[in-house]
A and B are shown apart, each in its own frame.
Chain A
Amino acid sequence: MGFPISAALLDSMVLAIVEKEDTYGYEITRNLREVADVSESTLYPVLRRLQKNLLLETYDREYMGRNRRYYRVTAKGILALEEYKSEWQHHKEMVDKILDQ
């Protein structure tokens, strides 16, 4: 598969996964790797960036005697996700215009 996943696409996929349900880094990576060839170490910069741009926030919850860091989408993140979704829809339609000929 030769389609590289852009940073914007990665951001939107991460936001979509976390929006569905608050979750932690390892789980997000597993979800992503089901659909895309994303390396484990690509994800941390994405999560950190989303967090610094206030699209994601974190909280810790105890699990098996240690703390697990959960991610949650902020209100700003939900707005950004909506925008990403409509942009992706538009992008997909444009590409399909050519591919579906």
Chain B
Amino acid sequence: MNRTEFMSALENRLMPLNEEDREDALRYYDELFDEAGPIDEQKILNELDDPDTIARQILSDNGISPDGRPEFMIDEAVRPQQGGQNANQNTAQNNNGAAPSFFENLKNDFNNMSQSTKIVIIVALILVTSPLWGGVLGTAFGVLMGLIGVAIGLVVTFTAAGVGLTVAGFVYLIKIPPIGLIILGVGLIVIALDILLIFPLVKWAFELLVSLVKWAIDTIKNLVNKSKAQNA
């Protein structure tokens, strides 16, 4: 086979193509021969595949199915178009605002993890963020303790004052009876107020304690149930 035979064989097999594509291909191979020059004509012919194979590749690249199944080209020729369609679909999704948000992605990623990975992540999160909520929790605990301290202080003061005044009243009752009576009376009033104060305080503290314990138990129960449900 020489150059002329090669070119006419190629042209015959490229007839199904439109003129522009055919001219472009023929021109390319014609130029290869020109570049190689007449001396290397045979060398180029040896390097090239036969016109039939070349034509099959070009035809399938242009969406024309030659007889038989072209191996190299079909999926290579289709690939760029598919990529383009996918890209368009993605853009459309973004335009619709239907694309998953960052947090949704994060949530999906998290849900896809194994149980042990989840636990490790949760523990790590708790440890890492502990300075943050540790401070808040500490402050809340301090305020609570302070309130309890104030309450205890009030009770102690009232009790001491009441008892002291009552005792002093008895003492003054002997020395100066009218003043003793007044002091005794004031002391008894203070003791009465003290008792009125103690009952709601004790009741309030007890209720607080009960609800705290209840909350802790419920939280633990929920966690256990959740992990059971996920394992099932």
Q: Is chain B found bound to chain A in the same assembly?
A: yes
A residues sitting closer than 8 Å to B (CB atoms) are 7, 24-27, 29, 39-42, 44-45, 47-49, 53, 66, 68-69
**A100 vs B31: C-alpha distance when bound (angstroms):** 44
Known: A48-B58, A49-B77, A66-B34. A40 touches B28 (CB 8 A): no
Residues of B within 8 A of A44 (CB): 25, 28-29, 54, 58
Which residues of B sit under 8 angstroms from A41, Cβ to Cβ?
Answer: 48-49, 53-54, 57
- Binding site secondary structure of chain A: helix
Given A24-B31, A27-B35, A41-B53, 19 other A-B residues pairs in contact with their CB atoms under 8 A: A7-B76, A24-B35, A25-B32, A26-B31, A26-B35, A26-B36, A39-B49, A40-B32, A41-B48, A41-B49, A44-B25, A45-B58, A45-B76, A47-B28, A48-B21, A48-B24, A48-B25, A66-B34, A69-B27
State whether the Cβ of B73 lies closer than 8 Å to any Cβ in chain A.
Answer: yes
Contact assessment for B31 and A25 in the assembled complex, using a CB-CB cutoff below 8 Å? yes
A39 in contact with B35 (CB, 8 Å): no
> What is the interface size of chain B, counting residues whose CB is below 8 A from a CB of the partner?
26
Q: List B residues at the A interface (Cβ < 8 Å).
A: 21, 24-25, 27-29, 31-32, 34-36, 44, 47-49, 53-54, 57-58, 61, 72-73, 76-77, 79-80
**Shortest Cβ gap from B40 to chain A (Å):** 10
6 cross-chain CB contacts under 8 A: A24-B35, A40-B44, A40-B47, A49-B76, A49-B77, A53-B80
Q: From known contacts A39-B49, A40-B47, A53-B80, infer whether A45 and B32 are also in contact, taking CB-CB under 8 Å.
A: no
Which of A7, A26, A68 makes the CB contact (< 8 A) with B79? Answer: A7
Are A39 and B47 interface neighbours, CB within 8 A? yes
User: Closest 3 CB pairs between A and B?
Assistant: A26-B35, A41-B49, A7-B76
Q: In the complex, A59 Cα to B29 Cα: how many Å?
A: 16
Which of the residues A24, A27, A39, A53 comes within 8 Å of B48, measured between beta carbons? A39
Shortest beta-carbon distance, B225 to chain A, in Å? 42
By the criterion CB–CB under 8 Å, are B28 and A69 in contact?
yes
CA distance A29 to B43 in the complex (A): 14
Residues of B close to A69: CB separation below 8 A:
27-28, 31
